[in-house]
Structures are given as structure tokens and as C-alpha cells.
Chains A and B, each alone.
Chain A
């Protein structure tokens, strides 16, 4: 027994050392194998030329894994479709170099370094603002453009010509919500609950400034990410007596806020939620009755009346058996935008693709038109949706931020 233990230990130690030595050279083959293995279930590629590599920094594991799954599915599906139609640049397929960034800034630095080491032409992700913030200098140094749906207004401060975003900035959402609340409910007092992460703080700040400028009273309470019992924050806001309640939170908390508002007897106050609330994975967590009359502001919603969107929704459901939400729509768009930019650039060189991306005009995304600004902002479409008693959404207001 003792001997066996010793042998086992030795074997483990040797195994670990060998993999760490041997792996240095060959550690990159995995992602490719994975990507090509996945295409079996999807459409067959008809593109036969030399593949063009597209890096995808994706949250496979970690706290954001739920979004990461959709992101991966969306990009995989888009590339399958593009390759099935003959790829880009006259028959060259797009190849996904997918690396797990674990949803953390450190993980993203690792992942992006790995992606850049693979000589990719262009990259998609990382998704969150802290991750994009941590990695954007790497992209700039390497001269590779990247497309993200990170929303922080602070990302623009770096003035990085390689940064492109296809989501609406957090700085723009709050003010649009205030305008909506003024028109719709004649609100003069806005109470808000925000997550103290990058997203919530940016949205809270922008809303606060906008309210001050427009003579509207504003009171907000923060909560630390992961705090699930928001009773005391909501009670404080209730005590202040707002006309309307905003919340800037993520999936799980957004659903909890709807529930806790109702259970604290605040269900009758108008409530405008974040984009998370307009996604099926969030509103599925809410009771239909509690959700009735709640609003959500979002840069994406599953619009069944739009034909392009409808086709995407159906295809996605058929391919993965899941509903489309924001992650999927954003990164499906990012994948197509990539292909479009490579076509327009007529080249697989990162610098040419960057130039093509910066000249993007009237690109047809599933959720509307994309036009690239000087700072790399592409999306200016915002919707405010209203829920009925059966979890159906209808557009209450469409805002163009230009």
C-alpha cells in the first residue's frame, strides 16, 4: 500500500512536470481542434482556401460563464454560416481561435496574449468592461483591432483606434431613461438602485449628472455585486419617495429586484430596469404578474416582427435549442461585422481590417444599423420595452441617440 502510494505520487509528479515542459510548444492546438469539431453539427464549410484566424476571448468558465456560452454559440454559428456560403476573400474560411478568459481581467490578459500569439487578423471580445480595459493596450501594441460589447464610457478615454464596440455606452442609457420617465410618468424624483461594479457605477454617475442638469431630483443606493438581499436599499429608496425607480444591475439581481419590489409593496411604482431584464434568461426568473408594467431599457431585444432578427432567432433556436439573448445577438453581429470588414478591406492584414472597421457605415446588424464613430462606437439604437402580464414585451419608445 505504502509502495503503491509512493509510485502514484511519482507518476503524478512526473506527469505534471512532463506536461508543463512539453506543453510549452504545443499548447495551442486545442482551441482549433475544438472549433473544427463543433462544425459537425452545423452547416458544412464550402470555403477551402487558407483560413483567416479570428481570436475570440470568451468566458468559458468563471462567474460570467452563462454569457460566455451564448457568446461562443453565436460566433460559432455565424462562422459556420459564413463558411458555408464560401467564406471571405474568395473562398477563405474564418477560423475561430477561442480562448477562455475566465471572466476576470487577469484571465483576459492571459487569453488575449494567447490570441495575439496566434497571429489572428482581428479579435472578438473580451466582453466585460474591466476585461476590455485590461487588454486594450495589448491590442494596441500588437496592432490588432478588436470588437467588444463592453459598455463602460471610460473605455473611450484610452483613445484606442483598435477598439470597436457594438453596444450602447452606459453613459447614454441613464439619460435616455430619465427622458423616458419624464415623458411617460411626468417624473420629477428618480430613485435608483445600482450594482457597484463598473457598469452600475458608470450608469449611476451619468444619470446623476443628467438629472442635475435637467432639474430632476435623483437619489441612488448601491449594492455590492452578489448581494442578494436588497431589502434595506429598497426600503431607503422607498422612504425617500420617488416617482419612478431605475435599476442598473445584472441578470440575477435584476430578477430579484423585480420580486423584492413587489414583496415590499412597491410594485405599483413605475420601474425601468436594465438591459439584463429584457433577456429571457432574466425575465424567466420573474413572476409574470410581478413583471407586469415593468419597463426595460436595452440595446437589444428579440424583435419577432423584424425579418432578419426573426430568422436569426429561429436559426439559433434550431442550432442550439436556446433562446437568443443579448450576448448571442451582440457577438453574432460581431462575427458578421468581422467578415464584412475583411471583405471590405480585401485583405487579412489587421491594419487594413482596422481601417475597414472604422469606415463601417450602415452595416445591417440583426438589431439595426451600425455606423462607426471616430471613437469606435457603432451602436446608437436604444429601446425601452414594456412587459405585459404574460412576459411579452412591446416597444414603448425607440430612442436614437444621435
Chain B
């Protein structure tokens, strides 16, 4: 694997910055935002596999995320299982969902797949709300314990931030390696030129399912992390709007690029918070900004930093996928 020197430097600098930030920011609100940024980064990096690379539209993030969160929090609160084991169970749930959603993606694609994932997500939300015996219904699950290592509980926001930062870095690095490996190229090829993939002796079906599984596992892990951080989960927030937010992050940062995903997650989580001083108008202003981005900068923030050649290549590849 070839790693560009500058990008390695940038990565190290970013990690260093992330590690020292809490020394300057002791405000709980800012720490909380940073934790949410980390969780969102994990989701977007995962979504990148399926929507960014293979170009399969997934609008069911809310459903996948909440399945992860519920798996983890129900095991922890009902059966008193250690949160780490719950996290592993959430990973298992991610595998199941990935397989389950990956299968329809073999038969339908584009808008049809988007509708399938919306349907899945809505069904999950309605079930979570109405299976009161199992999930606690709309009242949600309360008292979800935090993670602990060797008897030390991660309770303050600072501790949780560092723990989640480590997990996020591992997952980002992992994603970066996959994207730049032969799998990553195969994912891209599924979008750009499916026939060539088949001709190259790679099974498109297994590639698609793999991409879906990776995306689902990242989202369920994020769900589990979220549940053990906030200590409370209920189904009401996990609707289509929620799923779309992650696709917005993906598009604003730059589809296909892991650094772009990270950037997108940071911006889309923080900018609305910063616009809050506009009170009534902040969501409107933020939406207008995003719309301008989508129309004028469809390849995301990263396309500003990339060489022209790369941009053209990406554009061409994307064109081939157009409907």
C-alpha cells in the first residue's frame, strides 16, 4: 500500500490536534459536540463504502444505527451484560443487517434501493416504537451503563472522548486501508464499470454484500457507542431526516474519500450548532448553504484540494453511473 508522505503528515497532525483539543476545551457542551462528531465520523466513513464507493444509495442509516443502539442497550440493561460484549453483539447485528440489506441490493439499485432502505428504516422505527415489551416503546431505554476498562468507568465527557477517539481512529484507519486496497478498487469498479469487474473474475454480488456489511457494521458500532454515551435511547428521532443527514455529510465532505468523510462529518455536525445564534433561521440558512454546496461543489470539500486530473477521473466515473 502506497501512502503519500503529505497525507501521512496531515493524518498525524489531525490526530495530534484531536488528542490535545480537550486540554483547551473543558466546556462540557463542546466536549459533547466533539463526541458526537466522532460518532458521526464513524457512520459516514462506513456509509462511504456503500454509497460513496459502490454508489448504492442507502437511506436507511437511521434504522441500522438504531438497531445497533438497541441491541447494545437492551443486552446491557435487561441482561446486565458488559458493555464491551454488547458492542460485539452490535457488530454481529451489523453483519446480519448488512447481509439482509445487501441481498436486495443485488436485485434492485438506484432509486429502488433507496426506497427499500427507507422502507426498512421505517419498519424498524415502527417496530421499536410498538414492541413495548421488548424495547420499552417510545419511552425508550434508560440507565444504559457506560463502558469500563478494568473496573474504571468512562463517565466524564473527557474520558469518553478519548476512548471514542481511539476507537474512531482505528475504524478510520481501517477504512482508509480498505478503500486503498484491492477491495476498495473493486467497490469503485462496481460503480464505474460492473462488466469489467465480472470479467476480472470478481463476484459483484459478494462485493456489494461486503460493502453493505461494512457500512452496517460501522453504523451499528456507532449506535452502540452513542447509546452507552448518552445512557438513553428512544426511537422517535430515527426517521428519514436522520438518515439523510449522513448522506449530506458524505456529499459535503466528498464521496469516496475517507479524509473527505471525516471533514464532512465535522462540518455538518458543527456548522448548524454555530449557526444557532440565528435562532429561528439557523436551519433554513444551513439548508441553503448545503443546497449551494450540492449544486456548485458536488464532489465535496476534498475536490478543492485534489489535482485536476483526479477530479476529472472521479467525474467521469460518476457519469457512467448516472442512472
Contact = CB atoms under 8 A, between A and B. Distances in A.
B278 A30 contact: yes
B273 A222 contact: no
A152 B139 contact: yes
Secondary structure class of chain A's binding surface, majority of residues: helix
A160 to B, nearest CB: 11
A134 B28 CA distance: 16
B151 to A, nearest CB: 20
B296 A12 contact: yes
A33 B279 CA distance: 11
A231 interface: no
B304 A10 contact: yes
B30 A105 contact: no
A157 interface: yes
Contacts of A34: 277, 279
Secondary structure class of chain B's binding surface, majority of residues: helix
Interface residues of A, number: 51
Contacts of A30: 276-279
Nearest to A154: B139
Given A23-B274, A110-B32, A117-B28, A133 B138 contact: no
Contacts of B276: 27, 30-31, 99-100
Nearest to A224: B126
B304 A9 contact: yes
Given A20-B267, A198-B137, A5 B234 contact: no
Contacts of A142: 28
B96 interface: no
A114 B297 CA distance: 32
Contacts of B282: 61, 100
A298 interface: no
A9 B296 contact: yes
B232 interface: yes
Contact of A201 (B29, B132, B278): B132
A117 B33 CA distance: 12
A29 B266 CA distance: 22
Contacts of A5: 296
A157 B142 contact: yes
B138 A197 contact: yes
Contacts of B279: 30-31, 34, 60, 100
24 contacts: A12-B289, A16-B271, A19-B274, A20-B270, A23-B273, A24-B25, A27-B277, A30-B277, A61-B280, A61-B282, A106-B36, A110-B29, A110-B273, A117-B27, A134-B234, A137-B232, A154-B139, A196-B130, A198-B137, A201-B132, A201-B139, A222-B130, A224-B126, A224-B129
Interface of B: 25, 27-30, 32-33, 36, 126, 129-130, 132, 137-140, 142-143, 230-234, 236-237, 266-267, 270-271, 273-274, 276-280, 282-283, 289, 292-293, 296-297, 301, 304
Report the 5 A-B pairs with minimum CB-CB distance, sorted nearest first.
Answer: A30-B277, A117-B29, A23-B274, A113-B29, A114-B29
